[in-house]
Amino acid sequence: MRLDKRRSALAVALPAVLFIALSTQVWARGTTGDVLSGGAVDVTGAAAAPGAVGLAVICVVALLALMTGGPVIRTASAVVMVVSALGTLALTAFVALRPSVVVGDALSRQLARTTAPDATGITTGWGWAALVAAAVLVCGTVAAAVSSRNWSGLSARYERTKPASGPRGEVRTTWDELSEGHDPTLRDGPDRT
């Protein structure tokens, strides 16, 4: 299915923003038998997988470059966007599938230990929702990347124009005209005699 720029923006931006919003919620909850831990431990998505949040932001930035750049920029942006989305999915899947490890790592950071204590953990509904959002983000980035091959860049008014040349072929700039006493703003206006 080929997407236009507007649908591609929605296919990438919506799951990315949803994922970033979900990262503020508790993804893993667990307990440990450690005396200093104080019982239950809640780990938010941002704490469990901070790299995943950053990669989701990179997807949005790469989308902007994809929508505004030329063919080379679009190709590079598409690769960066898809790889970032895959990284987001991988980091989120690690948290969702190994909550005990995530809880133990979070507890070791809280207690400033070098080794994680034994912990038990479960993935919350927010963690599973984030995993689904990351999977949708991957699908959206792949669809946008494939569709971007048929897009054009920005309109011609954003293209750089070639400066006017003088009688001997030298490049003339607006500063040259001002230096000679000509007003370049009147170039397209009515002739003054």
In what helix (H) or strand (E) does residue 63 lie, and over which residues does it extend?
Answer: helix 50-68
For the chain, report the end-to-end CA distance as a whole number of angstroms: 61
Residues 21 and 101 in one domain: yes
In what helix (H) or strand (E) does residue 143 lie, and over which residues does it extend?
Answer: helix 125-147
Residues 17 and 112 in one domain: yes
DSSP 3-state assignment of 163? Answer: coil
pLDDT at residue 99 in the model: 87
* Comparison of pLDDT for 187 and 19, the residue scoring more: 19
Dist CA 141 CA 28 (whole Å): 27
The model's pTM: 0.73
pLDDT at residue 169 in the model: 65
pLDDT at residue 138 in the model: 97
pLDDT band at 154 (very low <50, low <70, confident <90, very high): low
* Comparison of pLDDT for 73 and 191, the residue scoring more: 73
Label residue 152 left, alpha or beta by phi (over 0 means left) and psi (-120 to 50 means alpha): beta
Residue 158's CB is within 10 A of a number of other CB atoms, namely: 8
Residues 25 and 113 in one domain: yes
Compute CA distances 150 → 6, 67, 139, 180, whole Å.
Answer: 14, 11, 18, 46
Write out pLDDT tens, residues 26-84. 999 888 766 555 677 888 999 889 899 999 999 999 999 998 888 888 899 999 999 99
Residues 16 and 71 in one domain: yes
pLDDT at residue 30 in the model: 86
pLDDT at residue 160 in the model: 59
pLDDT at residue 57 in the model: 96
> Structural domain of residue 128, as residue ranges?
5-157
Residues 43 and 96 in one domain: yes
Residues 15 and 63 in one domain: yes
| Dihedral, CA of residue 92, residue 94, residue 100 and residue 103, to nearest 10 | -50
pLDDT band at 183 (very low <50, low <70, confident <90, very high): confident
Q: Give how many domains the chain has, as a whole number.
A: 2
Whether the per-residue pLDDT at 159 is higher than 60: the answer is: no
Residues 99 and 184 in one domain: no
DSSP 3-state assignment of 176? Answer: helix
pLDDT at residue 136 in the model: 97
Residues 166 and 153 in one domain: no
The average pLDDT across 12-16 equals: 95
Residues 17 and 109 in one domain: yes
Residues 141 and 173 in one domain: no
Write out pLDDT tens, residues 75-134. 999 999 999 999 999 999 999 998 888 888 877 776 666 666 677 788 999 999 999 999
Residues 129 and 38 in one domain: yes
Whether the per-residue pLDDT at 163 is higher than 60: the answer is: no
Residues 99 and 28 in one domain: yes
